[in-house]
Structure 1
Amino acid sequence: MAKWTAKHEAPEPLEGPVVATITGGTILWFVLFLVQLPFYGWFDSHDHLWWLWTCLAGAGLGLIGIWYVRKRDAAIKRDAALSEAESAPREPAE
Structure 2
Amino acid sequence: MTKWTPKHEAPAPLEGDVVATITGGTIAWFVLFLVQLPFYGWFRDHGHLWWLGTCLAGAGLGLIGIWYVRTREAAIRRTQDGSSPGT
TM-score (norm 2): 0.90
Structure 1 segment 44-59 matched on structure 2, within 5 A:
44-59=44-59
Q: What letter corresponds to residue 56 of structure 1 in structure 2?
A: L
5+ long unaligned stretches in structure 1 = 90-94
Percent identity at matched positions?
77
Partners in 2 of 1:48 and 1:5 — Cα distance? 43
Aligned to 1:35: 35
5+ long unaligned stretches in structure 2 = none
Aligned to 1:25: 25
Does 2:71 correspond to 1:71?
A: yes
Of 1-10 and 28-37, deviating more is: 1-10
Partners in 2 of 1:41 and 1:53 — Cα distance? 14
Aligned residues: 87
> After the TM superposition, which parts of structure 1 deviate over 4 Å for at least 4 consecutive aligned residues?
none
Greater C-alpha Rg: 1
